[in-house]
Structure 1
Amino acid sequence: MRQLTLPIAPGPAPRFENFRIGANAAALPALQALLHRPRPSTPLMLWGPAGSGKSHLLHAVEAALAETGHRAGRLDAGGPLPAGWDERWALLILDGAEALDPLRQHVAFTLFVEASTRGLPVLSAARLPPVDLPLREDLRSRLGWGLVFQLQPLADAEVREVLRDEAARRGLKLQDEAIDWLLLRQARDLGTLMDLLDRVDAYALEHQRAVTIPLLRAMLGGWTETPD
């Protein structure tokens, strides 16, 4: 008999406190400086592959800023366009800069100029370094002239620790052999792995089974056998 799947508890919201630093400690003091007055006016850019923590840190800055009673303007590659400059903004965030379409590039440039005029910082993130961004030159050069930090994905041991901790938070017991099996067959960026853990959680609950390799095979491979 299968059990009805219950809603999965959301993971903790991105904060500086729950960011797995790994090899990325150098960027944190510069990011935290954005929260205090006088705020630096120099642009700051984070770049690195998927799963290296770029979006986590952008959201952490945004959340910490909100706790001080301030707001950040935001333009994402796949998100809605802002109506215009908001006087309540204390900084501007541009996420997914490598994927901005021509319209969003125009809006990003206009907002960047406005932020610079007001002496406010621009915090951006991309998967590519500034020199390789497929953007109009006036925007690309502005994004890259300030502080630029390359973010590195977590090492294997750190990824394993994250998986164990998140599984424990959900009440799942994730054995080393199950982690080994997953990491051999799945992308190792944390975003993909956390989404996968959501699926594992729901599947194990539905089948009322422990998380074993046969269960993972059944879930990921579409096997018809009953998971152990």
Structure 2
Amino acid sequence: MQRQLTLDLGTPPPATFDNFFAASNHELVTRLRELEGALAAGPVADRTFYIWGEPGSGRSHLLKALVHEATGRARFLSPQSALTAYVFDPRVTLYAIDDSDGLSGAQQIALFNLFNEVRAHPTSALVATGSAPPMGLEVREDLRTRLGWGLVFHLAALTDEGKASVLKHAARERGIALADDLPAYLLTHFRRDMPSLMALLDELDRFSLEQKRAVTLTLLRNMTKSARASDNDEAPADPPPAPDPATTDLLGDPLSLDSVSAPPETASTRFK
């Protein structure tokens, strides 16, 4: 397996609905984008969502976008969140629970109670994600049932062909003439999630302007070499080797040659 390369492209951009590539998931993205406004406008029939999909499909991205773009109070929860974070707060409008099938037993009970509280308060909504449809989740039966009560969406991940098409489209929007073999190379050797690929495309665009050259595979390789060279220049020098304990005294000072005796030729060698 080829090792995937990474470049230090700085802090990744925040997850937003704009930098999520919806493909066949337009209905879901539209509903999530409009959810907070719908809650403010009046009673909403569908206020609980469950989103499932394979790793890399963008489940976490959508939840973080929901919280990031909320104008009111929103809370992102995951298996790493404290148990107290699952306590209902009427001031919180949106609850976003990631990887619900990874929750501990106590967290599952807390999410079950939180789900019931949200259902009882018409001004709040809950969006949860998992790796399988509700009936396939390895969680408590009562929680599994609750997660299947609301709207359930399967988040379809982009295929490699879809990712390549997105990259080509984004390149055209930036006025970049992207070499035909470049998208496949990026998908093979670099991070495959779309935010990372788009950040890499932006970096390639900047580097091509600096070099006054077209965006080709050769330019990409030159950019990675430049990034590695920069990393090596900034790397600290190797520390000096530790002194050999056989040639130092208890304080680490070198012993004189006369005081270092060679082992007798008859010494045992069974511990070599």
1:45 maps to what in 2? Answer: 50
Secondary structure at the aligned position of 1:89 is classed as coil
Q: Is residue 136 of structure 1 aligned with residue 137 of structure 2?
A: no
* Cα offset, 1:188, TM superposition: 4.3
1:87 is displaced (CA, Å) by 2.8
Q: Is 1:117 matched with 2:120?
A: yes
Cα distance in 2 for partners of 1:186, 1:17 equals 22
The answer to whether the 8 A contact 1:50-1:189 is kept is no
Deviations 1:102-126 (A, max 9, x none): 1211111121111112133211111
Q: Match of 1:17?
A: 18
- What secondary structure is seen at the aligned counterpart in 2 of 1:92? strand
Cα distance between partner residues in 1 of 2:87 and 2:169: 41
User: Of 87, 91, 96, which aligns to 1:88?
Assistant: 91
Q: Give the match's secondary structure for 1:212.
A: helix
TM-score by length of 1: 0.70
Residues 63, 76 of structure 2: 8 Å contact kept = no
Over alpha carbons, which structure has the higher Rg?
A: 2
Deviation (angstroms), 1:12: 2.6
1:226 corresponds to = none
- Paired AA for residue 80 in structure 1: A
Secondary structure, counterpart of 2:139 in structure 1: coil
Deviation of 1:185 (Å): 5.9
**Structure 2 partner of 1:27:** 28
Q: 2:67 matched to 1:62?
A: yes
TM-score (norm 2): 0.60
Q: Is the 8 A contact 2:48 2:151 kept in 1?
A: yes
**Matched position secondary structure for 1:14:** coil
| CA positional deviation for 1:80 | 3.2
For the residues of structure 2 that align with 1:212 and 1:64, how far apart are their CA atoms? Answer: 36
RMSD between aligned residues: 3.8
| 5+ residue gaps, structure 1 | 1-5, 220-228
Residues 67, 94 of structure 2: 8 Å contact kept: no
Quote the offset at 1:177 in angstroms.
3.4
2: CA distance, partners of 1:166 / 1:12: 16
**Distance in 1 (alpha carbons) for counterparts of 2:9 and 2:196:** 16
Query: Given the superposition, is the C-alpha separation of residues 65 and 215 from structure 1 closer, same or farther in structure 2, using an over 3 Å criterion?
Result: closer
How has the CA–CA distance of structure 1 residues 18 and 40 changed in structure 2, closer, same or farther, with 3 Å as cutoff? farther
Q: Offset at 1:27? A: 1.1
CA gap 1:176/1:100 in 2 versus in 1, 3 angstroms: farther
Q: Deviations over 1:169-203 (max 9, x none)?
A: xxxx98553542343467744478679x59x99xx
Aligned residues: 202
Highest RCO, 1 vs 2 (Cα 8 Å, sep ≥ 6): 1
Q: Decide whether aligned partners of structure 1 residues 192 and 108 sit closer, same or farther in structure 2, where only a CA change above 3 A counts.
A: farther
Other-structure match for 2:111: 108
Report what 2:75 is aligned to: 73
What is the distance in 1 between the residues matched to 2:221 and 2:196?
A: 19
Letter aligned with residue 95 of structure 1: D
Pick from 207, 210, 221 the counterpart of residue 212 of structure 1.
221
For 1:63 and 1:40, the matched residues in 2 are separated by 24
Q: 2:241: which partner in 1? A: none
Compute the displacement of 1:214 (Å).
11
**Rounded Cα–Cα distance in structure 1 between residues aligned with 2:93 and 2:59:** 20
Go from structure 1 to structure 2 and tell me whether the alpha carbon gap of 1:214 and 1:41 turns closer, same or farther (over 3 Å shift): closer
Q: What is the aligned-residue identity percentage?
A: 32
